[in-house]
Amino acid sequence: MSDPIAPPGKKNPQRRTDVPNTPPPQRSRAALGLAAAAAEGRFMLQVCGSCGEVQYPPRDACSKCLSVDLNWRDVSPHGKLIAETKVRATTDLYFRKQTPVHVGTVKLDVGPSVICHVHGDVGADETVRLAIKLDRAGQGVMMALPAEETPFMDDDPRLRETSCTPKHRRILLTDARNPNAPEIAGALKSAGAEKIFVGLSEDWRPNRYHDDIMAVTGVEMLPLDVTDSKSVEELAAELGGKTDILVNNARYVRPGGLMARGDTVFAQNEMDVNYLGLMRLAQAFGPAMCARTADGTNSAVAWVNILSAYALVNSPDYGCFSASNAAAFSLSQNMRADFRTSGLRVLNVFVGPTDDDWHQELPPPKVPAKTLAGSLVQGLVDGLEDVYCGDVAKDMIERFRASPKIQEREMTGFRS
Amino acid sequence: MSRTRFGYEGVAVVSPATVPYQRFSIETAHWWIARAFKQSLDQAGLRPGDIDGFAVSSFTLFPDNAVGLTQHLGLRPRWLDHIPMGGASGIVALRRAARAVQAGDADIVACVAGDTNHIDSFRNLLSSFSRFSQDASYPYGFGGPNANFALLTDRYMKDHGATREDFGRICVAQRENALRNPDALMKKPLSLQQYLDARPISDPIALFDCVMPCAGSEAFLVMTVEEAQRRDLPFAVIVGTIERHNAFADDPIQLRGGWAMDIDDLYGMAKCGPSDIDLLQTYDDYPVISMMQFEDLGFCGKGEGSRFVQNRDLTIFGDFPHNTSGGQLSAGQAGAAGGYIGLVEAIRQVTGTAGPTQVPEASRAMVSGFGVINYDRGVCSGAAIIEGGSA
């Protein structure tokens, strides 16, 4: 078993906060396939389309037959740890703070030998399950995990470095008025969050979810209106230095596409909340969070966006809302670029129509808040970058990968 | 492989030069290379313009390579080579230069390796060493070669029952040899207990298993035997060589090197066997690699390396003189010059010019090279057997 991580004590204000460093970030283009697999928590390697040889490290040509038809495929992650070491001396600034680093060689059942991080519960010559995890440079790295679950295995320091787990962390959930707020707060609490701050806009107005949110222990309600720069800045001044995970669940949604609406009023609200709201939050909270990514057990670790799956391709019934989410999705990529050197991860949870007042006219499947909350928290625990929650989102990304143009034609063509 | 290889008749190896290593240097690789080159030329009474072949190895020449050096050093060779094979560079340069001289493509080839070592140059070298190490090795603790060799040492110990004491015997003997070499960086005696008690670096590797990166350079000249005799130079002749890259790629972890593929060819060409070798210079970036070479070069069976070092005396005056100048472990690892240190010392040995490290009556030496941890193992391997020529 792993040693359970103790909740962090009070921070010593006289001690310098550890400066964020990332592990070596450079990769060849081929090796970025590992980051793509890790972003979704898949175990994928290049497989030769000609002879079937599984390749590692990532290549541009097959090491058996020279074919350049190498395709990333899900393959068996099982293997055996055939060698291990604990690296105690390194010239890298990131790893210097983490020695000894447990590293090993795993011989995969599918062929290659893989140098990897090794979970503390894996013993010499044991069978293991390899996982590809995102490291703090946002790159995919191999990690050998015990073949079976072990007690407190998520608390292994190496694994926790790749995870964005809420355990012992302080979370800001931005919108208490979103119907999903109680479920998300509850799921975060169940995952071990120490404190959950929930933003409430226009606090003079009644909030029908108030009691359900306050029923979750460790919740504190604070004023926050993402459409008001001053409100965002004020809360960031108070909370920015102790926000470890920010979950932006603020959302403005109304049905209707371009021609179904006679004006831009709803569209302005959608952009103000879904796009500019995210921008305000990122500009206010981003710098403080990026400065605290090496701050011990409750370091700043992740930023979560909940995006409509229609950010990928427009859904005309909610055409203007889709457009605002496409803008937010694009901005999230900008956030990833700007946060990259700090190691602060941006998790995008793509979700299809949610089961709430503003999607009444849509048939099922619709995503219940509980499902969304579960996927979101699991994505944090697993350290993912992209989560597709619910059947519609999964269907959307599958079609998108097959052909964005055909998907566009499918979604925009003669509606009966 | 049924074709018979040509021998290296008529080829002489002369003028072994070593520029004393420094832990850190403010000079450049160009400076270090120029000094070893000059020292080698001076021994032979030659001037730079007399050289028509030039082979160079260096990690820290960037952005230059062998081409830039011709202009920098004022050479006009008709045969030029840049050999980026790390610890195998010396053997490979020797093989290529010998063939060039034999074929008449060049009359005198200077083979030079040198690197500088600035503060932080080791870290910079690691971070741009190879694509596979960048993608698949260094993101795991950035332990550099220490971590890679720790992994294969771990497996080797488990499979063959070798202990740290066995590796320590190699290191302690080399330190004893180094104490006779005034240019070795390591000046203090090393006991087996000190070896065992040393600071762990990457388990099971500890401080004295690791080479010390430094600045330095090495060189020798290859010419015809007639030329060497005309100049009255002590010379060595090549009786056999082998070279192999990416051998045993399907081995899940490296417990043998390319030598194991070609060793019969080497002894067959040299018309001798392991017991005829007077001294051995292995590539010793880590003692486990030297032990592997004892096995793969036929001095003992696979897995018998630990018993071998228990029963043999590896010092200069012992029954199995090994890495007589102290090797990289005790003299220092001067980048690509680490691929030359054993060869240059072996030339001195078989020509009777090794001075304080001279093995009595050494007439036949084996040198082996090993280089480039591209991902999880050393890819290049080579070996040569040389003998003292009669002047």
Q: Is the pLDDT of residue B2 over 80?
A: no
Closest CA to B154 of B211, B85, B200, B212: B200
Is the ipTM, as predicted for this complex, more than 0.90?
Answer: yes
* Pairwise CB contact (< 8 Å): B132 & A84: no
Q: Does A53 touch chain B (CB under 8 A)?
A: no
- Please state, as a whole number, how many other Cβ atoms lie within 10 Å of the Cβ of residue B217: 31
Question: Cβ–Cβ of B147/A85 closer than 8 Å?
Answer: yes
**How confident is the model at residue A310, as a pLDDT?**
97
What is the distance in angstroms between the Cα of B251 and the nearest Cα belonging to chain A?
9
CB contact under 8 A, A105 and B155: yes
Instruction: State the pLDDT at residue A313.
Output: 97
Q: What is the pLDDT of residues A270-298, one digit of tens each?
A: 999 999 999 999 999 999 999 999 999 99
d(CA A190, CA A166): 9
Question: What pLDDT, on a 0 to 100 scale, did the predictor assign at position B121?
Answer: 75
- At residue B130, the 3 state secondary structure works out as coil
Q: Which of B126, B155, B201 sits opposite A82 (nearest CB)?
A: B155
Interchain proximity A87–B147, CB inside 8 Å = yes
- Give the number of other Cβ atoms within 10 Å of residue A15's Cβ: 7
User: From the list B139, B158, B204, which residue is nearest A135 (CB)?
Assistant: B139
What pLDDT band is residue B144 in, cutting at 50, 70 and 90? confident
Compare all CA atoms of chain A with the CA of B204 and give the residue at the minimum distance.
Answer: A85
Q: Is the pTM of this model over 0.90?
A: yes
Residue B157 pLDDT exceeds 70: yes
Asked, as a colleague might, if the bond just before A404 is cis with ω within 30 of 0, I would say no
- Quick: pLDDT tens for A3-47: 999 999 888 888 888 999 999 999 999 999 999 999 999 999 999
A85, A135, A137: residue with CB nearest B203: A85
Gap between the Cα atoms of A388 and A379, Å rounded: 10
Chain A contacts of B252, Cβ < 8 Å?
82, 105, 107, 113
User: Alpha helix (H) ranges present in chain B?
Assistant: 29-44, 66-73, 89-103, 121-127, 131-136, 145-160, 164-178, 192-197, 225-230, 259-270, 287-296, 305-311, 327-331, 341-350
Contacting residues of A for B151, CB less than 8 Å apart: 83-85, 103-105, 115
Answer yes or no: do B158 and A125 touch at CB < 8 A: yes
Max Cα separation, chain A? 70
Of B135, B199, B204, Cβ closest to residue A31: B135
Residue whose tokens read 């602060």 = A344
Q: Cα-atom radius of gyration of chain A, to the nearest Å?
A: 22
Provide the 10 A C-beta neighbour count for residue B87.
30
Q: How far apart are CA A379 and CA B221, in angstroms?
A: 63
In chain B, what are the helix, strand and coil shares in percent, each to the nearest 5?
40, 20, 40
The share of chain B scoring above pLDDT 70, in percent, equals 99
Is A64 part of the contact surface with chain B (CB cutoff 8 Å)? no
Element (H, E) at B333: none
Mean pLDDT of chain B: 95
- Report the residue from B136, B151, B204 with minimal CB separation from A57: B136
Task: Please report, for residues A331, A342, A385, the alpha-carbon distance to residue A336 in angstroms, rounded to integers and kept in the order given.
Answer: 9, 10, 10
pLDDT band at B125; cut points 50, 70, 90:
confident
3-state secondary structure of A211: helix
Chain A residues within 8 A of B135 when measuring between CB atoms: 27-28, 30-31, 57-58
Q: Which of residues 116-145 of A touch B (CB under 8 A)?
A: 116-117, 124-125, 135, 137, 139, 141-142
Pairing state of beta strands B200-202 and B205-206? antiparallel
Please report which confidence band the pLDDT of residue B1 belongs to, taking 50, 70 and 90 as the band edges: low
Chains A, B: CB pairs < 8 Å: 122
Is residue B391 scored above 70 in pLDDT? no
pLDDT tens figures, B335-369: 999 999 999 999 999 999 999 999 999 999 999 99
B279-281: strand order across its sheet: B79-82, B53-57, B109-115, B215-224, B11-22, B236-245, B378-388, B364-373, B279-281
Helix (H, G, I), strand (E, B) or coil at B288: helix
Segment A114-120 shows an average pLDDT of 98
Option in A57, A100, A116 nearest B375 (CB): A57
Interface test with chain A among B127, B140, B212, by most A beta carbons within 10 Å = B140
Partners of residue B132 in chain A, C-beta under 8 Å: 57
**Residue A128 pLDDT > 60, yes or no?**
yes
Query: Residue A362: its pLDDT value, please?
Result: 87
Residue A415 pLDDT level (bands cut at 50, 70, 90) = low
Residue A280 distance to chain B (closest CA, Å):
34
| Cross-chain CB nearest to A107 (options B140, B154, B252) | B252
CA–CA separation, B316 and A224 (whole Å): 79
Rg from Cα positions in chain B: 19
- pLDDT value of position B123: 73
Chain B residues whose C-beta sits inside 8 Å of any chain A C-beta: 122-123, 126-127, 131-132, 134-144, 146-148, 150-152, 154-155, 158, 199-205, 249, 252-253, 375-376
CA dihedral B26, B29, B33, B35 (to 10 degrees): -10
Question: Which one-letter DSSP state was computed for residue A375?
Answer: H
Distance of CA A174 to the CA centre of its chain: 17
